[in-house]
């Protein structure tokens, strides 16, 4: 332990003098959190100023104009502005006075009820950003609803053995209108309720992403000792080879925990992030740091040089981070993405925090913590054995 | 004399490469022992085993009465290693480097402070001890490299080619330091491929070639293996191998070797036989551009024993 603590002390001293460590551990993750929070704002931060021009005036158009859009207005997401006509709407969007405009052309309702192709026009101002995406999303979601209604009408007609009556079509359309609240802008942006808010998600994602780079210094440290010629000196000293591994690992653990803790506090105090119950957060942080150490250690054992290790580790950290959804949530469609997401400690970490925030109970973080620890064990054990062989 | 190191029948292979075939030697207290040989002869592998970095495939190493192997902490505590590559942390100061390695050797605080100050004095870095080692000159780094090996007052100091890539002034300072260490009673194992360093520093020398000790002894003893012969070097302007063939036809020549554009011969009574040598070379149409007659040195011993020059 004496030798391990000497190696730990030396490594920490070197890391503290290395300003890039401070950048990776605190400055960059915090900076990117702030940056991404502007790119991906919270649903409640979205303000869309738009207009709708109903040139159709039919039942289906009314479903959109009087059913869907008012719910967005009521939620405070949309400010509807009156315009003279479609041409005026187009001009205001082009001028940037409006973020978006929906134009329901003449004949829209008739085409829909006849089962023909119908077009709902969405105009989005250049530079509208997320507001423009929301405008498109609202139209897409309404179109999907209409397709479902059309399908229902067709099935209904076939079941009843003839063309549906106008009353029947109206009834189905009305049912659709009542269900228009399924078009939730929040879903378009964050993926549902009981999630971390945007700032917390980004802060936790960035912290978990960069901690993989922060702890990798321990593994790279072994290669650095070799490349700068000090490894023979360490091996010639009257210390067990395990002390070198222990000292390096403790260094990674301390730096990783410090980085995550500082980011959790800093993002909470400075950016208003909420990571959830502190005990649950602590469990998840310890787990993700251990997993990061295991993964990076295993990847590093396949490298011969510091540069090679850095490259391998960067690739793995980025891939795992992407599949874990540290930059944006992954839709999770397809078995390959499902498997990759399940194997990503980042994904489990963010899921654990989400469940922690949603339930408010520490126990909610236990499944994710165990999943992350499983990744830590599965990677750390072979890494330890391979490293030991290299030191023998 | 107290024996500090005994190596017996060392063998080490890396895959198909037999790096050390059969090496045995001993070093006493206060003795400087040189392993002299070209690059790839097995010197560094040998000292890696002596320092406990490598486990020999066969043979035994005993340091200060303790068997050496990679987990032998007692034996390792008796050894100071100065690797060929400068093994220091450039972002730490000399004092911090020394303190770190001192802790690995379990030096207690007061003892550590005293030894660090003493070593900084010995290596002439007292004034720069708190500066980052990365800012030092090459010679200063080399001196710090040696200082770390001496910090814990080992019984055996291993110096692996400590002057490679060093300017002449620093090189001389390093050699003077090593001479002083041996005078203080330290056993020194010194590897080099510089013949003049081995001649100057080492009490006994092992000439190592292809993983084996080709010859061992004092400088005088090694030179005597050639016999009381003189060395004649004929620089030639023509076909040197053809000149060598002509000289090998003559009787009583100890050896005839070709070295670049020269032929090197060992023989008794060189002064008297020189006209015969020149005549033999002239007969095969090779002109001689220079003649040197001198007493053989370790380089010549190596050439005589292995048929190759040290620098090869």
Q: Residue ranges per domain, chain A?
A: 2-40+194-391, 43-189
Q: At what angle do helices A198-227 and A28-39 cross, to 10 degrees?
A: 150
Q: Are A296 and A313 in contact (CB under 8 A)?
A: yes
Length of chain B: 312
A97 min Cα distance to partner chain B (Å): 58
Confidence band, pLDDT 50/70/90 cuts, at residue A6: very high
Mean pLDDT rounded to a whole number for chain A: 81
Phi first, then psi: give them for residue B310, nearest 5 degrees: -60, -40
Please tell me which of the candidates A6, A230, A237 has its beta carbon nearest to residue B89: A230
> What pLDDT, on a 0 to 100 scale, did the predictor assign at position A190?
38
Fill in the DSSP letter of residue B132. Answer: B
User: Considering only CB atoms, which chain B residues are within 8 Å of A241?
Assistant: 70-71
Please tell me which of the candidates A6, A14, A241 has its beta carbon nearest to residue B103: A6
For β-strands B66-67 and B58-63, DSSP reports them as antiparallel
> What pLDDT, on a 0 to 100 scale, did the predictor assign at position A148?
63
CA distance A377 to A121: 54
Please tell me which of the candidates B77, B86, B100 has its beta carbon nearest to residue A229: B86
CA distance B3 to A349: 61
User: A67 pLDDT exceeds 50?
Assistant: yes
Domain range A43-189, CATH class: alpha beta
> What pLDDT, on a 0 to 100 scale, did the predictor assign at position A38?
67
Nearest to residue A291, comparing CAs of A387, A375, A378? A375
Please tell me which of the candidates B52, B74, B88 has its beta carbon nearest to residue A236: B52
pTM more than 0.90: no
> What pLDDT, on a 0 to 100 scale, did the predictor assign at position A280?
94
Nearest to residue A134, comparing CAs of A188, A89, A187? A188
Please judge whether A235 and B106 are an interchain contact, meaning their C-beta atoms are less than 8 angstroms apart.
no
Task: Return the bridge partners of A78, or none.
Answer: A48
Give A364-380 pLDDT, tens digit per residue: 999 999 999 999 999 99
b/e B165-199 (16+ beta carbons within 10 angstroms → b):
ebeeebbebbbebbeebbeeebbbbbbbbbbebbb
DSSP, collapsed to helix, strand or coil, labels residue A99 as coil
A391 min Cα distance to partner chain B (Å): 9
Give A309-365 pLDDT, tens digit per residue: 888 988 998 889 888 888 776 655 677 777 777 889 999 999 899 889 888 888 999
Q: Between 3.30.1360.70, 3.40.50.1820, 3.40.50.300, 3.30.920.30, what CATH number should domain B3-223 receive?
A: 3.40.50.300
Nearest CA in chain A to B49: A236
- B227-295 classified as CATH 3.30.70.100: yes
> What pLDDT, on a 0 to 100 scale, did the predictor assign at position A166?
58
B22 min Cα distance to partner chain A (Å): 23
Fill in the DSSP letter of residue A67. Answer: I
Domain boundaries along the sequence of chain B: 3-223, 227-295
Give A173-199 pLDDT, tens digit per residue: 555 555 444 334 434 443 444 457 778
For testing the chain B interface, which of A236, A243, A389 should be mutated: the one with the most B CBs within 10 Å?
A236
B73 contacts chain A (CB < 8 A): yes
CA distance B227 to B247: 19
User: A129 pLDDT exceeds 80?
Assistant: no
Nearest CA in chain B to A7: B100
Q: pLDDT tens per residue, chain B (312 residues)?
A: 689 999 999 999 998 899 999 899 999 999 999 998 888 888 889 999 999 999 999 999 999 999 999 889 999 999 999 998 899 999 999 999 999 999 999 999 899 999 999 999 888 888 998 999 999 988 889 889 999 999 999 999 999 888 887 778 778 888 888 888 777 789 999 988 888 888 888 999 998 888 899 889 998 888 887 776 788 889 998 889 999 998 888 877 778 888 888 998 888 888 788 888 888 888 888 889 999 888 778 877 887 777 766 655
A389 contacts chain B (CB < 8 A): no
> What pLDDT, on a 0 to 100 scale, did the predictor assign at position A97?
87
B99 contacts chain A (CB < 8 A): no
Taking CA atoms, B213 is separated from A87, B3, B36, B163, B208, in Å, by 98, 20, 9, 23, 5
Nearest to residue A229, comparing CAs of B161, B175, B190? B161
- Least confident interval from A8-22, A131-145, B228-242: A131-145
- Least confident interval from A78-82, A162-166, B106-110, B249-253: A162-166
> What pLDDT, on a 0 to 100 scale, did the predictor assign at position B112?
93
Q: Tell whether the torsion through CA atoms of A253, A254, A259 and A260 is positive or negative.
A: positive
> What pLDDT, on a 0 to 100 scale, did the predictor assign at position A7?
92
Q: Are B25 and B194 in contact (CB under 8 A)?
A: no
Ranges A43-47, A262-266, B251-255, most confident: A262-266
- Least confident interval from A25-34, A204-213, A325-334, B161-170: A325-334
A14 contacts chain B (CB < 8 A): yes
Fill in the DSSP letter of residue B189. Answer: E
| B211 HSE (CA, 13 A, CB side) | 14
Please judge whether A392 and B70 are an interchain contact, meaning their C-beta atoms are less than 8 angstroms apart.
yes
> What pLDDT, on a 0 to 100 scale, did the predictor assign at position A191?
40
For testing the chain B interface, which of A233, A239, A247 should be mutated: the one with the most B CBs within 10 Å?
A233
> What pLDDT, on a 0 to 100 scale, did the predictor assign at position A117?
78
> What pLDDT, on a 0 to 100 scale, did the predictor assign at position B82?
92
What is the SS3 assignment for B1-44?
A: CCEEEEEEEEEEEECCEEEEEEEEEEEECCCEEEEECCCCCCHH
Taking CA atoms, A93 is separated from A32, A102, A126, A132, A140, in Å, by 31, 11, 8, 11, 19
CA distance A299 to A316: 8
Q: Identical fold at B3-223 and B227-295? A: no
CA distance B282 to B284: 5
> What pLDDT, on a 0 to 100 scale, did the predictor assign at position A186?
39
């Amino acid at each position: 332990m004496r030798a391990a603590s000497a190696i730990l002390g030396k490594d920490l001293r070197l890391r503290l003098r290395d300003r890039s460590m401070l950048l990776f551990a605190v400055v960059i993750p915090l900076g990117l959190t702030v940056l991404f929070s502007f790119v991906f704002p919270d649903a409640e931060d979205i303000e869309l100023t738009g207009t709708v021009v109903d040139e159709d005036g039919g039942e289906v158009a009314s479903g959109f104009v009087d059913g869907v859009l008012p719910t967005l207005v009521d939620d405070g997401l949309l400010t509807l502005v009156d315009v003279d006509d479609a041409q005026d709407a187009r001009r205001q969007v082009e001028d940037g006075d409006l973020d978006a405009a929906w134009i329901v052309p003449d004949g829209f309702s008739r085409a829909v009820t006849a089962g023909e192709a119908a077009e709902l026009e969405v105009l989005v101002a250049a530079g509208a950003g997320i507001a423009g995406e929301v405008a498109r999303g609202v139209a897409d979601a309404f179109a999907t609803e209409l397709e479902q209604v059309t399908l229902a009408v067709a099935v209904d007609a076939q079941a009843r053995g003839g063309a549906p009556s106008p009353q029947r079509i109206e009834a189905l359309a009305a049912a659709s209108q009542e269900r228009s609240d399924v078009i939730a802008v929040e879903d378009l942006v964050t993926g549902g309720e009981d999630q971390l808010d945007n700032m917390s998600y980004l802060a936790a994602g960035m912290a978990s992403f960069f901690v993989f780079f922060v702890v990798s210094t321990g593994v790279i440290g072994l290669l650095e000792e070799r490349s700068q010629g000090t490894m023979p000196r360490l091996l010639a000293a009257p210390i067990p080879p395990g002390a070198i591994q222990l000292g390096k690992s403790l260094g990674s653990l301390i730096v990783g925990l410090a980085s995550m803790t500082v980011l959790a506090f800093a993002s909470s105090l400075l950016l208003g992030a909420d990571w959830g119950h502190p005990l649950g957060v602590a469990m998840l942080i310890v787990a993700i740091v251990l997993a990061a150490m295991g993964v990076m250690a295993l990847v590093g054992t396949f490298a011969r040089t510091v540069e090679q290790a850095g490259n391998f580790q960067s690739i793995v950290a980025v891939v795992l981070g992407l599949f874990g959804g540290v930059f944006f949530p992954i839709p999770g469609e397809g078995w390959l993405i499902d498997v990759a997401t399940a194997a990503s400690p980042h994904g489990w970490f963010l899921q654990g925090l989400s469940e922690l925030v949603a339930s408010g109970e520490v126990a909610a973080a236990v499944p994710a913590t165990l999943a992350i620890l499983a990744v830590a064990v599965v990677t750390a054990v072979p890494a330890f054995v391979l490293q030991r062989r290299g030191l023998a | 004399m107290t024996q500090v190191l005994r190596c017996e029948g060392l063998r080490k292979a890396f895959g198909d490469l037999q790096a050390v075939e059969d090496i045995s030697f001993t070093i006493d207290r206060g003795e400087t022992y040189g392993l002299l040989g070209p690059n790839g002869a097995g010197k560094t592998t040998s000292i890696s085993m002596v320092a406990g970095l490598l486990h020999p495939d066969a043979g035994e190493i005993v340091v200060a009465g303790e068997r050496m192997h990679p987990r032998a902490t007692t034996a390792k505590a008796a050894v100071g290693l100065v690797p060929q590559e400068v093994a220091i942390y450039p972002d730490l100061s000399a004092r911090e480097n020394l303190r770190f390695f001192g802790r690995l050797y379990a030096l207690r605080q007061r003892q550590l402070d005293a030894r660090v100050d003493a070593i900084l004095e010995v290596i002439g870095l007292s004034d720069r001890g708190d500066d980052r080692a990365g800012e030092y000159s090459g010679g200063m780094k080399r001196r710090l490299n040696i200082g770390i090996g001496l910090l814990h007052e080992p019984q055996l100091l291993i110096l692996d080619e400590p002057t490679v890539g060093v300017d002449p002034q620093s090189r001389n300072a390093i050699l003077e330091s090593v001479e002083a260490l041996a005078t203080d009673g330290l056993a020194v194992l010194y590897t080099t491929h510089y013949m003049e360093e081995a001649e100057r520093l080492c009490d006994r020398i092992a000439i190592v070639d292809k993983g084996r000790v080709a010859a061992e002894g004092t400088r005088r003893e090694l030179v005597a293996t050639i016999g009381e012969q003189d060395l004649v070097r004929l620089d030639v302007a023509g076909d040197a191998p053809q000149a060598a063939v002509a000289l090998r036809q003559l009787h009583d020549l100890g050896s005839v070797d070709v070295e670049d554009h020269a032929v090197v011969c060992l023989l008794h009574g060189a002064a008297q036989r020189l006209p015969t040598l020149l005549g033999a070379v002239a007969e095969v149409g090779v002109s001689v551009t220079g003649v040197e007659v001198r007493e053989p040195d370790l380089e010549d011993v190596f050439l005589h024993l292995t048929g190759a020059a040290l620098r090869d």
